[in-house]
Structure 1
């Protein structure tokens, strides 16, 4: 384990770097209407940070609909194309996120993107984020178990050549924070859609605005103690 601060930064995407959770709000409600209902606030909140395989059963249950594997496949394809349409229309940065990425790059720390979003949609987002910023990109359909399982963060750290404890993860959701925490990362939590519980490895911050390399070292150390 590093003694001088984090060796790498592992970034979540939706709600952390990009203000894309609101686009998922639109596409998930459109799918609910396509299926003949409306998504409840509680149902949508339960999906924040989850992958498509986790979210679709929540949606069907929220609507009170029975479903088969074929129903989930068809709904997933519909949702995928609707969300791609929204992504292609334009993605906005979360406050301070673009400057934070530049700061980490200037500090010489390698970065990974760790998202529950599928590769098909992540590729569209990389046009905004900048593919060359990331040494590793882990997508939700490229792991056996998505967040909140620790596998995505463990895989990202391994691809960068570090232990998870050497890394600082930056997250916005309870699901993603749980994944990074369970992997052994220190976690900087910048909530977006929903509140995130406190935890020993976790430091909370209102925004990425003004984030410095010194902050990253401080947050990493707090998560290790």
Structure 2
């Protein structure tokens, strides 16, 4: 979701800087980049080591609520092409799941702003035992959709997300946002979702299946 469907990473970074500075420490842009795609409770332990003297649950709550405040204040910043591609998938009857390490309340905020029923299922960071890069989130999504993970196409913007989807066994498309994906596992890397269509997804999937 964050970085692939919506450009919320700047919101997260602002929330992180504010939180760390509240405890008299410094949090740089480079520090924030290391957190992209990380599970929130894993991230909370990083903040605790950086001097944020709060329980992990409190850190997750503080960060999430600050991002939700920014979404309410500034609106949902959609990534180019993301909604159009989702609409094509839905019109064609393709089952879809949102796999995010954000918590459900925030995911529901974002999904609720989409002007059509975009997802059959949501798998969120507060619902899985093992966050990305573990395969569990994507395996859970395929299970809820009632499909084989090998028949799924996953679109991700971070090395952590790509590692999760690849380990699960999906066809994987990388769309870089805040981080380069040159060394991350994927079947193909697209510069953007802008102008991409259902046919493009089918081409990537059939190419992989033909070589398997």
Structure 2 partner of 1:207: 192
Determine if the alignment matches structure 1 residue 86 to structure 2 residue 86. Answer: no
Aligned to 2:145: 160
Aligned to 2:34: 46
Query: In 2 relative to 1, CA 83–199 (structure 1 residues): closer, same or farther, beyond 3 Å?
Result: closer
Aligned residue in 1 for 2:132: 147
Which residue is 2:56 aligned to? Answer: 72
Deviation at 1:200, TM superposition (A): 6.4
What root-mean-square deviation, in Å, do the aligned CA atoms of Structure 1 and Structure 2 show? 1.9
Do 2:99 and 2:138's aligned partners in 1 also have CA atoms closer than 8 Å? yes
Instruction: Report the TM-score, using the length of structure 2 for normalisation.
Output: 0.91
Q: Does 1:14 align with 2:2?
A: yes
1:180 alignment partner in structure 2: 165
Q: TM-score when scaled to structure 1? A: 0.86
Q: Which has the higher contact order (CA 8 A, sep 6+)?
A: 1
Q: Deviation above 6 Å: which 4+ runs of structure 1?
A: none
- Do the aligned partners of 1:104 and 1:213 also contact (CA within 8 Å) in 2? yes
1:135 matched residue in structure 2: 120
Which structure 1 residue ranges, 5 or more long, are not aligned? 1-12
Larger CA deviation: 75-84 vs 203-212: 75-84
C-alpha displacement at 1:196, in angstroms? 1.5
Q: What aligned pairs does 1:90-129 form with structure 2 within 5 A after superposition?
A: 90-129=75-114
Q: Per the alignment, do residues 130 and 175 of structure 1 end up closer, same or farther by CA in structure 2, a change over 3 Å counting?
A: farther
Q: Cα distance 1:185–1:76, how it changes in 2: closer, same or farther (>3 A)? A: same
Contact 2:111–2:118 at 8 Å: present in 1 too? no
